[in-house]
Chain A
Amino acid sequence: MENSGLSLVTVVLFLPLIGFFILLFVPDGQSRNIKYLALGTTLVTLVLSLLLWAGYDSSNPGLQMVQRADWLPQYGISYYVGIDGLNLILVILTAFMMPLAVLISFSAHVIQERGREKLYYMFMMLLEFAMIGVFVAQDLLIFFVFWEVTLVPMYFLIGIWGGEQRVYAAVKFFLYTMAGSVLMLLALLYVGLNAGTFAVPEIVAGVQNGSIVFPFSDLFSTQAVLFLAFFIAFAIKVPIWPLHSWLPDAHVQAPTAGSVILAAILLKMGTYGMLRFCLPLFPEASVAWAPIIAVLAVIGIIYGAWVSFAQTDMKKLVAYSSVSHMGFIVLGIFALNAAGIQGAIIQMVNHGVSTGGLFFIVGMLYERRHTKELSAFGGLWKSMPLLGAISLVVVLSSMGMPGLNGFVGEFTILLGAIGSTVLGLFYALLAALGIILAAIYMLYFFQKIFMGELSKEENRHLPKLEWNEIAVLVPILVLIVLIGIQPYIFMKPSDTTVEHLVAQVAPENAVTTIAQLPETQSGD
């Protein structure tokens, strides 16, 4: 299992960091070189991450392409990376979204206005490095290192190139997420010190065979408190209602690429963390807390949708829709069965692509009109038919239209919630209400911008889509349709790992299997 050579995972992880250092030595003025260097780095990372997928053996539930090197051996801390069914698809999502985020920044006004272009792309590279690190790290402390490091570039992206309230939003983002993660730091130090190692697979094995015990008796016993310390850090990142208040500020103030990365990848770090750490390390506490967390998730689904509908600012509307969609993912995870968790994983990708796409579209509209007010638009279908058509697909995908990607994830999650012994039909019914509400606010969003009369003079002659904007939207469209009609390609890698995970956490719950699901899917 251990590997002395250079693992491909390490290569993918450190590529963006190499890009960061190359950029450091490019002279400030060379705008073209800077842009294409950044784009090139992210594209090479994408290609290599696809090689990860090609080399991945989906019948093996364990870690693959592992690399391990001592970091602080006397405390059992090591640089330990690897991929399995839980993180492979998220690494690819990250590598997929980053070139798009770089591309859209090519024409961003705000960078031309505020300058410091090199710094901007350097932070993008650093962010990609840290995010991939969060997903592939298999050592508690190394994971935490990457987790905290993501804060810094995002803080600067919001703070330097953000909107009017950028300083407030950036500081709030930093403090809010940091406040959540410090308790996790204590909990993970406690876990690591008691286990004698910080390597997650070893601790999980110890928990399974009983050699490492975190006593559990009630909702606030040792194990449950540790679980909560991890969970709250992740819940803030997701964000789960009522810990979401940083999200609208950060989203609205961030530059387009920042919003996209935030929605598509950073939020997934929270849900991924629950899967990777909360469930296998603290199985009893997970089962005990699952119903309560599911209630919060359902509240988030409905609350997010409800508040979303009331927004007049495009970005805020999409931001609150994130709260709603992320609620689904959490619900799926805490259904604690294979269907729920697989649905959650695929829904992470779906949400990344769809909501990322929505933020791209909002960003393009903002570049043209310099306002995010819904009321400033209307009838754009007539002046920008291409953008209108693309937006329609993304909007339909986001509201869960069958045949597109969103449906697959939400359907599987609902299936999981119904079949779960911890949750049940009631949760699923309430969550389904969220799907209906999603249809309302998404169509409202689309109608306000693209339908109706072209009443505003300024909207008549908007510039056409630039080449880079089309290059951003096309891959998104392709993925939306591809996942919609062939979801199993994307769910297959996580199959065995998820079944293994469910068997560890809630063996009595391993009833709803997913194996038949794609067939029923492609039937309609």
Chain B
Amino acid sequence: MLEIPSLESLNIGAALPAIIVAAWACVLLLIDFAIPKHRKHVTAWLAAACLVVAFVANLLVYNQTGDSFLGMYVADQFTGFLNLVVLATAFITIMLSIDYIRRVEIERGEYYVLLLFVTAGAMFMVAANDLIMIFVALELLSIPLYVLAAFRAPDLRSEEAGLKYFLLGAFASAFFVFGAAMVYGATGTTNLNEIYHSVAAVTAANDSLQYFLVLGAGLLIVGLGFKVAAAPFHEWTPDVYEGAPTPITAFMSVAAKIGGFGALLRILIVGMSSLTFVQGDPALWQNVIALIAALTVIIGNVVAVAQNNVKRLLAYSSIANAGYVMMAVAAAGTPGVENQAARAALIYLVAYMFTNLGAFAVVIGLERVKGSSDLEDFVGLGKSRPALAAMMAVFMLSLTGVPLTSGFIGKAFVFSATLNAGLVWLAIIGVITSVISAYYYIRIIVNMYLRDDETPSDDPTPGYTPNVHWATAIAFGGTILIGVLPILITGLTDNVALVAAVIP
């Protein structure tokens, strides 16, 4: 029965960008042995070069669509767009890491190799069109991240972060596999396109199989909910974010979410958009996702108000932002809104990527070797480092959603999709929690500009090296550019059509 597929039928070219990253990661692992211990920045630049090559390759194949590996990997605009975002995230993370890991004395070549593996994992995950493939990609994304979170060992908080992330991540994976098994049991396939066709038949048959399907879908949502840190599966986030090396926190808060949301959107839209008992009704999972979204934005924003440590504050802020993306996912449950909602999620993610990485870059600049960064460390920054403070202020305004920044564009798209889907209550919760979020983002601006009690005598920004500076500037440029000319980004998503892919 087992057929050996021909090489042409695999259509490897479509998956080229992700393969470049994965393959180069393996090669780099070997090259790294030859690089002397005090020159590990060479490894960093080799890794960065690979990301640039993959980025260019991805742009070249951007408008080509096709399946590879027998329908397990789908190259479409959705994949292409998220690949760009992931690659940019990884590139900025490397810029942030080079001086940081030397400063905290954890400079080892594996760091960059692991980073590339995570990147490849995220890229495969957003392109995967098969539950098994999604699971493999999920593990490729997660396992190196567990290691990276604990990379500052023997620092206790970093070890705790790694262990905690590992344990909860393992649970999440288990949930995911269990869910996938149930969906397989109900539909007899793991391919998302085929699941879509079976779902209609299963719900129409109205027998006990449909409960398996619903339960399976629920477990898949739980598993990916852990990965994107959506409430009520968010409890691990603050501790892990606080303990992990700061560049890894920045990376994790973007790349892991992109992988998680990419897979979630594909599973729910491509595979399960027909999961409903009444034809034409919103999909069954819409209410669940909407509730998760509402809970996530409320918990994330309300708890962030009480934080004094910047990394914890940004952790809760990242939870809240996952909630806004989740709103777009919820909107995708309404027939006819799927593609608009998927676009909104993509635009929100790229807007969030620039802003959040920028904010973390500033935090890395402020962070001392021993000890963390508190909100108090920002006092007087407006005077001692005007350019840095101005960029940080823009990042905070962007996270709040003030116009002329990318954050506003992201929110406008998400709320539009939510309104179009008829989830007015959810949109209202979204805007009200944005106002709550303004309070804690503004606190950082207050500290930087409005309070000038005493300026600390030593250098306020010990980690603000040229690399960090350039990373901040890139993030700043992206934030403003998207805010002023959103067409540059939205134009890239014009042909995102997850739903058209399933119509036979």
Contact = CB atoms under 8 A, between A and B. Distances in A.
B402 A151 contact: yes
Contacts of A179: 432, 435
A4 to B, nearest CB: 19
Given A72-B487, A171-B446, A178-B438, A148 B408 contact: yes
Contacts of B402: 148-149, 151-152
Contacts of B428: 183, 186
B450 A166 contact: yes
A21 interface: no
B405 to A, nearest CB: 10
B435 A190 contact: no
A27 B428 CA distance: 45
Interface in A178-202: 178-179, 182-183, 185-186, 189-190, 193
B434 A193 contact: no
A170 interface: yes
Contacts of B383: 116
A160 interface: yes
B420 A193 contact: yes
A265 to B, nearest CB: 19
A178 B434 CA distance: 9
A149 B398 CA distance: 12
A167 interface: yes
Given A72-B487, A74-B490, A167 B446 contact: yes
A465 B439 CA distance: 41
A71 B408 CA distance: 15
A450 interface: no
Contacts of A156: 449
B335 interface: no
Given A160-B450, A183-B431, A186-B415, A174 B442 contact: yes
Nearest to B447: A167
B183 interface: no
B435 A182 contact: yes
Interface residues of B, number: 32
B101 interface: no
A352 B172 CA distance: 61
B403 A144 contact: yes
Interface string B420-437: 100010011001101100
> Chain A: interface secondary structure?
helix
B419 A145 contact: no
Contacts of B451: 167
A159 B445 CA distance: 10
Nearest to A147: B403
Nearest to A73: B487
Nearest to B446: A167
A141 interface: yes
A175 interface: yes
Interface residues of A, number: 35
Contacts of A144: 403
Nearest to A144: B403
Nearest to A192: B416
B487 A185 contact: no
Given A145-B403, A145-B408, A152-B397, A186 B442 contact: no
A171 B442 contact: yes
Interface in A147-178: 148-149, 151-152, 155-156, 159-160, 166-167, 170-171, 174-175, 178
A74 B495 CA distance: 12
A159 B446 contact: yes
A197 to B, nearest CB: 14
Nearest to A148: B403
B486 A160 contact: no
Given A160-B449, A174-B438, A178-B438, A149 B415 contact: no
B200 interface: no
A115 B439 CA distance: 26
Interface string B13-31: 0000000000000000000
A159 B449 contact: yes
Interface in A415-429: none
Contacts of B499: none
A179 B487 CA distance: 28
Nearest to B427: A186
B494 interface: yes
Interface string B217-244: 0000000000000000000000000000
Contacts, number: 78
Nearest to A146: B403
Interface string B463-498: 000000000000000000000001100100010000
A185 B400 CA distance: 14
Given A141-B412, A174-B442, A71 B487 contact: yes
Contacts of B427: 186
A182 B494 contact: no
Interface string A190-227: 10010000000000000000000000000000000000
Interface string B383-402: 10000000000000100101
Given A72-B487, A145-B404, A193-B420, A178 B435 contact: yes
A20 to B, nearest CB: 12
B101 to A, nearest CB: 35
B408 A72 contact: no
Contacts of B403: 144-146, 148-149
Nearest to A184: B431
Nearest to B452: A114
A12 B76 CA distance: 45
B141 to A, nearest CB: 32
Contacts of B442: 155, 171, 174-175
Nearest to B433: A182
Contacts of B415: 185-186, 189
Interface in A471-507: none
Contacts of A73: 487
Interface in A56-87: 70-75
A116 B386 CA distance: 10
A75 B490 CA distance: 11
Given A152-B397, A185-B412, A170 B450 contact: yes
A145 B411 CA distance: 13
Contact of B486 (A72, A116, A155, A190): A72
A80 to B, nearest CB: 15
A73 B494 CA distance: 11
Contacts of B446: 159, 167, 170-171
A193 B416 contact: yes
Contacts of B449: 156, 159-160
Contacts of A74: 490, 494
A182 B432 contact: yes
A71 B412 CA distance: 14
Contacts of B434: 182
A204 B442 CA distance: 37
A152 B483 CA distance: 15
A186 B419 contact: yes
A192 to B, nearest CB: 8
Contacts of A159: 446, 449-450
B416 A189 contact: yes
B301 to A, nearest CB: 13
Interface of A: 70-75, 114, 116, 141, 144-146, 148-149, 151-152, 155-156, 159-160, 166-167, 170-171, 174-175, 178-179, 182-183, 185-186, 189-190, 193
9 contacts: A72-B490, A74-B490, A74-B494, A151-B402, A160-B450, A170-B446, A171-B439, A174-B438, A186-B428
Interface of B: 382-383, 397, 400, 402-404, 408, 412, 415-416, 419-420, 424, 427-428, 431-432, 434-435, 438-439, 442, 446, 449-452, 486-487, 490, 494
Given A145-B408, A155-B442, 19 more contacts: A116-B383, A144-B403, A146-B403, A148-B402, A148-B403, A148-B408, A160-B450, A170-B446, A171-B439, A175-B439, A175-B442, A182-B431, A182-B435, A183-B428, A183-B431, A186-B415, A186-B427, A189-B416, A190-B419
Q: Which 6 A/B pairs are nearest by Cβ-Cβ distance?
A: A182-B431, A145-B403, A159-B450, A179-B435, A148-B403, A167-B450
